Amino acid sequence: MRDSQPRQEIKASRLGSGGFFVLVVSGQGCPRHENGFEQAEEFEMEKKKKVTILEIGAMKQAGEKITMITAYDYPFAKVVDDAGIDIILVGDSVGTVIQGVPNTLPVTMDEMIYHTRMVARARERALVVFDLPFMSYQASLEQAKQNAGRALKEANAEAVKLEGGANMAETISAIVNIDIPVMGHIGLTPQSVHRLGGFKVQGKDEGTRKKLLEDARAVEEAGAFAVVLELVPAEVAKEITEMLSIPTIGIGAGIHCDGQVLVLHDLLGLYPARKLKMVKQYANLYEESRKAVEQFCKEVKEKKFPGPEHSF
């Protein structure tokens, strides 16, 4: 028996390159829109445009701020990627943040690969950058190339970061020359904590300011696609940002950098005793987590959990 309902035709077409589609439903009984379509509904595809080093460079040219944050595992990487972060840095800060050691020096390549693999599985949009740990690139150019290659081949990272300025220019160049993107890192370089005498602001006097400018030029000339400026006076960071054609990403380096980075666990307030001037705490997950666990303990002790709704 033939269907007595009016026949309708459904078509879908892409509008531009932004992932948008128009769903057109036409036929008898379909109201017409002013633009001539019988019925149209626009929706955004869930798939997000992937961030690459080319987009990061273009953002500086367009004056669009770049966002970067650390992540060390699948769940948090999923959160920050879904939130729209541009770059996920799997930092060697995993040592102080996750492992509970006092600095980044004990972190190994194998540990970094382990954590980066988890992050890369969650990544859909963000650029994933692998932080080369202490003594994974300083011994020789061959060592640096081998470990940078492992970061991409074994951990599914898309770029590596290493610390140092003019002293590491040859290393940056060697890695870039085998087609592995490199992010530089100058100012306070945590792997040099003992030489620097602690975690201190760099570039406060004229001599260290000039050294920072030299380091920034060297990193760019070596082929880095971006550079982190850590604990640098705001005006010095502004001077460097205006001088370079590659993006600067600041942490404790003022508002003038092309982008900003924070350690995720600091941003979320997971370490209430860790008070850092350059950090803005956007949540207090330590307190919320503690309360949730306390409530669980209370309900178990009082025989309130599990209830009938949690049982089979």
Ordered by where they begin, the domains of the chain are 8-44 (no CATH), 53-281 (3.20.20.60)
Q: What is the pLDDT at residue 275? A: 83
Do residues 268 and 244 make contact, with C-beta atoms less than 8 angstroms apart? no
Residues 93, 205, 168: CA angle, nearest 5 degrees: 45
Task: Work out the angle at residue 105's Cα, subtended by the Cα atoms of residues 102 and 109, and round it to the nearest 5 degrees.
Answer: 125
**Overall residue count recorded for the chain in this entry:** 312
Residue 272: predicted pLDDT: 84
Surface-to-core class of residue 163, CB atoms within 10 Å of its CB (0-12 exposed, 13-18 middle, 19+ buried) = buried
User: What would the pLDDT profile of 237-289 be if each residue is shown by its tens digit?
Assistant: 999 999 999 999 999 999 999 999 999 999 999 998 888 999 999 999 999 99
Give the pLDDT band (50/70/90) at residue 19: very low
Q: In what order do the strands lie in the sheet with 8-15?
A: 8-15, 20-27, 40-44
| Inter-CA distances, 156 with 30, 83, 146, 264, Å | 49, 21, 15, 21
CA dist., res. 241 & res. 258, Å (int): 7
- pLDDT over 50 (residue 234): yes
Backbone angles phi, psi at 155, to 5 degrees: -110, -10
Q: What is the mean pLDDT of the chain?
A: 89
Q: Which residue type sits at 175?
A: I
Quickly state the pLDDT bin for 42 (edges 50, 70, 90): very low
Kindly give the interhelix angle for 74-82 and 109-122, rounded to the nearest 10 degrees. 50
User: From CA 139, how far away is CA 136, in angstroms rounded?
Assistant: 7
Predicted confidence (pLDDT) per residue in 45-61, tens digit:
334 799 999 999 999 99
CB burial class (10 A; 0-12, 13-18, 19+) of residue 2? Answer: exposed
The angle that helices 109-122 and 141-153 make with each other, rounded to 10 degrees, is 30
Question: Is the separation of the CB atoms in 157 and 151 below 8 Å?
Answer: yes
Q: Cα–chain-centroid distance for residue 267?
A: 13
CA distance 113 to 92: 11
Q: Tens digit of pLDDT for each residue in 198-214?
A: 999 999 999 999 999 99
How large is the average pLDDT for residues 131-145? 98
Of the listed 158, 163, 220, 230, which one is catalytic?
A: 230
79 token code pair = 């959160």
- The CA angle 232-233-236, to the nearest 5 degrees, is 90
Look up residue 237 and give its amino acid.
A
The pLDDT of residue 44: 43
> What's the burial of 100, exposed, middle or buried (CB within 10 Å: 0-12/13-18/19+)?
exposed
Rounded average pLDDT over 29-42: 45
The verdict on whether 230 is a catalytic residue reads yes
pTM: 0.85
Question: Residue 68 and residue 83: Cα distance in Å, rounded?
Answer: 12
- DSSP percent split of the chain into helix, strand, coil, nearest 5: 40, 20, 45
pLDDT in tens, 107-137: 999 999 999 999 999 999 999 999 999 999 9
